[in-house]
A and B are shown apart, each in its own frame.
Chain A
Amino acid sequence: AQTVTQSQPEMSVQEAETVTLSCTYDTSESDYYLFWYKQPPSRQMILVIRQEAYKQQNATENRFSVNFQKAAKSFSLKISDSQLGDAAMYFCAYRSALNAGNMLTFGGGTRLMVKP
């Protein structure tokens, strides 16, 4: 079974600065997908960024980028120019490409606080 670990329960960043959230995972599979989801307080969970394991290039979405290290099974999220609206719980998630139901394995989450 796959496991996803987020070792930072809480992180804090100054507005306009950069922060990196860590995620490691364990799998014996070679084809899979990795996701970062954002869950703001009392608001719904939304997808931030997705990485396909067969792609070497790191995914980027505006101020959000990942550092995907397949051999190390590491998938960190970098948020540049942090904004107050980035404050949220961030969940790293794994999905096997063999999984017909597209089911996710979530990490425990990292609460990000942004200081003005």
Chain B
Amino acid sequence: DAMVIQNPRYQVTQFGKPVTLSCSQTLNHNVMYWYQQKSSQAPKLLFHYYDKDFNNEADTPDNFQSRRPNTSFCFLDIRSPGLGDAAMYLCATSGPGRKEEQYFGPGTRLTVT
């Protein structure tokens, strides 16, 4: 089945230690998104790629970076995680059409110790 895959599902990192979360998709979608979701809150968009074009949300901290080496893969890098960065990180994809929905991965739960 075509899907959005996130690895790992659970990640523990230390305060200040860089961490990378990964997302892959078999849907061949050209748009990929990274969201941060804290407990019982709505997902907050961090950035998205439209093909190779990177689009950062205005309020996304510089501590968060992303890479998309090809259509299938997208990475979220947190350069110096703080305690406030502990959250669920969701990856999603979408096709280019007007009617396209977003397809979400299962998320990676990040714990910062």
Contacts and interface: CB of A to CB of B under 8 A. Distances in A.
Interface stretch (B13-21, B35-43, B63-71, B74-82): B35-43
Contacts of B99: 33, 50, 52
Interface in A1-60: 33, 35, 37, 43-47, 50, 52
Chain B, interface SS category:
loop
A50 B45 contact: no
B86 interface: no
Contacts of B106: 43-44
Interface string B78-113: 000000000000100011101111111111000000
Given A102-B31, A106-B42, A108-B41, A45 B98 contact: no
B101 A109 contact: no
Q: How large is the interface on A (under 10, 10 to 19, 20 to 34, 35 or more residues)?
A: 20 to 34
A101 B41 contact: no
B41 to A, nearest CB: 7
A44 B43 contact: no
Contact of A103 (B40, B45, B101): B45
